[in-house]
Structure 1
């Protein structure tokens, strides 16, 4: 094992954060294109739902392997290789979806490409980026910039959730499938940023293999109520992000490009509401359990309201209410769990794992329920949120979490 290394200057740190940001953008800009993709190519909604879930599942499965690779071989090579492979995979997907309506590519070919490339390959590659970026940041000599870099990983991921969907909506105005074509471009720019900004030879300290925890080991008698509440909330978020385009298309009779445009900007409104709630309200609140209960109640009413909203203003009001609920509940769950575990890293890992599992569960379930009607997934996940709210009221673990331990947790609906 090579000796640990350090880097000076801000360029490596900026390049690592740029890679995280652009990779997240590449994923989030495609969210508004879900319904247009189905409409333009004649797919079933669950085809895209399975692809999104496969990507998240591969991120969860591949992350421990990438951590070991980064630990052994350093940061620069793995992150550049992963982003270049992801760029190639998404380039193939973009070419296929652009050509499919014109040259009659069979639907089954497009579906296999979506699941294998946009799903499995992209998820496996994205899993490399955060561990490698963390190693670059850990190697930064300036303590102040190192702390800013560690906080910046969560920040840029949160920014991408909010801004990425707006960018995807804006790109949809140029064509329903343009956001899909933008994904490999963003990934390629990220790979170039790392290749130019991160020096060779950044390696971890020779302290053996990095410790990893499975999802099962994170959930025990102390933490399962928080895991269930987080999973319910995050699966609902992931479901709404996927099915919203179908709801808007049906209720307002939009064509494919306008569906993507409207979806992106409605999701942007919800994301901004979540950010404001988290930064202006949740940050100054004292009790995590209160944040959880209020946030879950708001989210349940918002998601349920989407099921019956019959005008654009009603849809916006419901999505903003949902966003406020997410912005309150997620930090509340993280703080309440942190007060019980007394371990910041375990709590962060628990929340991160539930975020990925939420994407594994929400999109496929939501898109299958679309077969019943556009109201069905919203009613179902609204009921799930009501159940999570009841759990937060009834379980003593939430009542015991009186003194919060601040832990970052951000997602936007």
Structure 2
């Protein structure tokens, strides 16, 4: 296969009006927040829940990997449809599917805890609901928001800030989800599962009532897909893949690491895991809401600085030296990846035309999703061989990413887009 051309003339696709861009961005960020708040509320209790219903670590890892497969398979579809159908129809469909599947998932977990469903049947239903159903639904949210931000921002600084905004609300959702999931788990491990579809229902109502549907002339009739081998974007995709792979090697394991290193019971594990995720989200928010907007750094610089900081955090997580060092390492990892991620998401948008932005947004989301096809199953399998092994592997991956963004020439040849606003 021949590589895609290094540069390509931007297609003559009419640009959107921008008079309502800021209110629509704020509304979309609120929608992203609710979607990821629902997802993050599950994280503190997923490890103890699996043990309460009798599933093995690898089965939870496989369920999350299958959700990531759906993210990879459907993200480009949703990203392009957000340009051709409009944001509102895509998000209504996504939130409806997510709400239904997670309501059924909560019921399934309860049936598993009382012993009415067990074994392979329980595992397959976990895969169907949490893996296939919710994975397909959540894959629509981020590409839709990113494609819109790329569509209405015409200069590099505004685009980086917009992409950082998506990351910032995800960080806020991580903190809020850690609080909601961890605190509710103290009362009952099923309580966070009941909260998830309620949050998704709130997102559905917000989209249905408040989000305006674009007029037809603002849509892109035939959005173009972007190849992962496109010479304009693949170095960014590779860097992002490495970052999320390193994160994936510890994210799914965090509950198990907390429980096994500290000897905690299920409720305490949920609370402490929630606290660790809260710190990771705090680091991400400080990075993306404060450091990135004020720094004025270009995407390549964000990748280099953030990657180096995240590598330090991964290194600190390797030794089993108590709760304080564990929490500090998670905070540093969140801060470093919070700086690096807007470089990954904003950088390639400077390289493509407007009718490719939906496909690119789907591709960057799919790149992150692909890592969670591999990492959960691989990390949980390695964890069975030695509790430090997956953490060492994640640290090594992060080191390679940091070196790659320092030496590859693509990160020294980014174009600077025109600063004038798109025509109304």
TM-score range, shorter chain: 0.7 to 0.9
Seen in structure 2, the aligned counterparts of structure 1 residues 392 and 94 have a Cα distance that, compared at 3 Å, is same
Tell me what 1:304 maps to: 315
Report what 1:111 is aligned to. 123
* Residue 248 (structure 1) aligns with: 258
Residue 177 of structure 1: CA displacement?
3.6
Q: Cα RMSD (Å) of the superposition? A: 3.9
Equivalent in the alignment of 1:265? 275
Distance 1:212 1:361, change over 3 A: farther
- SS of the equivalent of 1:276 reads helix
Aligned residue among 63, 67, 92 for 1:80 = 92
SS of equivalent to 2:254:
helix
Aligned length: 392
Measured after TM superposition, the shift of residue 29 of structure 1 is 1.2
C-alpha contact (below 8 Å) 2:144/2:361 kept by paired residues: no
Q: 1:186 aligns with which of 194, 199, 217?
A: 199
Deviations 1:261-282 (A, max 9, x none): 1111111112212222344444
Q: Which residue of 1 aligns with 2:324?
A: 313
* Deviation, structure 1 residue 106: 1.4
Distance 1:362 1:165, change over 3 A: farther
Superposition deviation, residue 223 in structure 1: 3.6
Unaligned runs of 5+ in 2: 1-15, 153-158, 418-424
Deviation at 1:94, TM superposition (A): 0.7
User: Following the alignment from structure 1 to structure 2, what is the Cα–Cα distance between the partners of residues 91 and 54?
Assistant: 19
* Partner of residue 411, structure 1: none
- 2:20 aligned with 1:25: no
Give the Cα–Cα distance (whole angstroms) in 2 for the partners of residues 275 and 30 of structure 1: 20
Name stretches of at least 5 consecutive residues in structure 1 with no aligned partner: 141-146, 406-413
Aligned 8 A contact 2:75 2:365 in 1: no
Greater mean alpha carbon deviation, residues 50-59 or residues 110-119: 50-59
Structure-2 separation of matches of 1:378 and 1:173: 28
Q: 1:363 aligns with which of 360, 376, 381?
A: 376
- Is the CA contact (8 Å cut-off) linking 2:280 and 2:334 kept in structure 1? yes
Task: Tell me the equivalent position of 2:61.
Answer: 49
Choose 262-271 or 364-373, whichever is displaced more. 364-373
From 32, 35, 38, give the equivalent of 2:50.
38
Partner Cα separation in structure 1 for residue 337 and residue 58 of structure 2: 25
Whether contact under 8 Å (1:71, 1:203) holds in the other structure is: no
Distance 1:393 1:33 in 2: 38
